[in-house]
Amino acid sequence: MPSKHVRLLVITGLSGAGKTQALQSLEDQGYFCVDNLPPSLILKFAELCTQSQGKVTRAAIVCDLRGGEFFSSLAEALGDLHAEGFQYEILFLEASDEVLVGRYKESRRRHPLSPGGGILEGIQMERQMLTDLRGVAHKIIDTSNLSSQQLRHQVAEIFGSEQTSGHLAVSVVSFGFKYGIPLDVDLLIDVRFLPNPFYVSELRPLTGEHPQVKDYIFSNPVAQEFVDKYLGLLEFILPYYVKEGKRHLVIGVGCTGGQHRSVAIAERIGVFLQERHYTMSVKHRDAARNRKGDKLK
């Protein structure tokens, strides 16, 4: 019986959310990619990959509503994969109704559930149809505020490297609660209890990456004690995530506007992870948005 050690990624989600860009990113990373594969063929596709004599070790397929009536059998097809011993992951892409409507108007394409028009109705119907599938997804990416290039980079960062058991990639994201909590956060920290540099006039235009802001925050003994205790917690729990086979962990650090406190704490966590040789990245989602007072493009 051929080895079933093939990394299989199923990409699905809302129409217009960026599945094509995600698939292209994976293709650039060496995945064998198939777009719009009917679910009834997924098991056969996986079996063919195992018969490639090691030439195909990573594969990605897109399954979505373009498959029409075939798409309804996706849950059954995934059950068959599991029953046959194949391991797979589901990447679910979504975006807000407003953003999706804008993308459809820009591309002048029709929504697959609204061939006669009514883009918003089609989006809402599709969102409802995909509720159960979203609930079992291993990774959810909201592309509302991502450019195509940013999405491709994020997908490559999460799925691009050969990740095996014993390897964990950690993303640290600072954000402002007034802009909403990132949807894909696994561990959430609220640092709004710390003194806010926003109320210090010379620090207000700066971000938490600036040495003056860092000095202001960490001169507070409460901030230093909190960071020491939280890093101790990470030191304890991260090996257990690795042991359980988790491949990607997202740590969200939030303050009011996402400009000062959350940025400084996220940077400190990033240094900790780097010193321990975790594959890691630190992103500051709202630092520029809060400083400029508008939304990131």
In whole angstroms, what is the distance from residue 125 CA to residue 236 CA? 44
Query: 3: burial class by Cβ within 10 Å (0-12, 13-18, 19+)?
Result: exposed
The two structure tokens encoding residue 263 = 């940025």
Which residues contribute to the annotated binding site for GTP?
64-67
Tell me the residue type at 273: L
Binding-site entries: 13-20, 64-67
Which token pair is 171?
Answer: 């993303």
> Can you tell me whether residue 92 is helix, strand or coil?
strand
Residue numbers in the known binding site for ATP are: 13-20
Q: Which two tokens stand for residue 120?
A: 């918003």
**Rounded Cα distance, 66 and 123, in Å:** 13
For the chain, the C-alpha Rg in angstroms (whole number) is 21
Beta-carbon count within 10 A of 168 CB: 20
CB atoms within 10 A of CB 212: 12
Which amino acid is located at 154 in the chain? Q
Contact 93, 20 (CB under 8 A): no
9 sits in which H/E element: strand 7-13
DSSP of 169-223, one letter per residue? EEEEEEEEGGG---TT-SEEEE-TTS--GGGSTTTTTS-TTSHHHHHHHHTSHHH
